[in-house]
């Protein structure tokens, strides 16, 4: 039986030597879905960095001469401003505030768009009965003529039925 030290050395050597699968994985390269064709983003950033204090118009004119599209340059300047890669002064002059170019990351829109709610028509509710507070008793006597003039038909019928029970007709 080999001693402990040689057994550990052999185990470490086996771990360190790559297997066939590991060798195949190392040789495989990551597949890119697309390759940059003209590097307009990097060129735009580099121009702004090397020409401190240039205006948007100057950047577009210089890069148009190199064959880039105006809309691409303008859009990239806007995205770089939003991503705080470059800044614009009060006079409109641009300056790079990061040392190296990094790909532009799309920022998520943080503004909330309010959607108008549908108006819900409320059905008219039946008015709640208002309980009349007891009125101060008039100093005048109630007469049959006064009651007939100031009573409704429904109340008159109820009064008739009550009087009928009292007088037993």
Q: Say what the pLDDT of residue 63 is.
A: 93
Q: Say what the pLDDT of residue 3 is.
A: 81
Domain 40-96: give its CATH code: 1.10.10.10
Q: Say what the pLDDT of residue 6 is.
A: 86
Q: Say what the pLDDT of residue 12 is.
A: 83
Torsions phi, psi for 39 (to 5 deg): 60, 40
Q: Is the pTM of the predicted complex or chain greater than 0.75?
A: no
Q: Say what the pLDDT of residue 139 is.
A: 61
pLDDT along the chain (169 residues), means of 10: 78 74 63 69 92 93 92 92 90 90 73 70 69 59 79 86 84
């Amino acid at each position: 039986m080999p001693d402990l030290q040689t057994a550990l050395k052999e185990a470490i050597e086996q771990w360190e030597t790559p297997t066939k699968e590991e060798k195949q994985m190392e040789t495989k390269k990551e597949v890119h879905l697309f390759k940059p064709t003209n590097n307009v983003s990097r060129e735009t950033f580099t121009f702004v960095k090397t020409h401190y204090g240039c205006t948007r118009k100057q950047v577009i004119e210089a890069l148009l001469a190199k064959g880039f599209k105006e809309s691409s340059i303008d859009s990239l300047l806007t995205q770089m401003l939003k991503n705080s890669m470059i800044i614009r002064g009060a006079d409109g002059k641009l300056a790079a505030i990061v040392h190296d170019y990094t790909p532009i990351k799309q920022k998520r829109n943080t503004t909330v768009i309010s959607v108008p709610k549908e108006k819900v028509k409320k059905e008219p509710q039946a008015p709640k009965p208002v309980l009349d507070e007891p009125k101060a008793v008039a100093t005048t006597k109630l007469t049959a003529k006064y009651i007939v003039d100031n009573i409704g038909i429904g109340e008159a019928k109820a009064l008739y039925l009550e009087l009928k029970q009292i007088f037993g007709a």
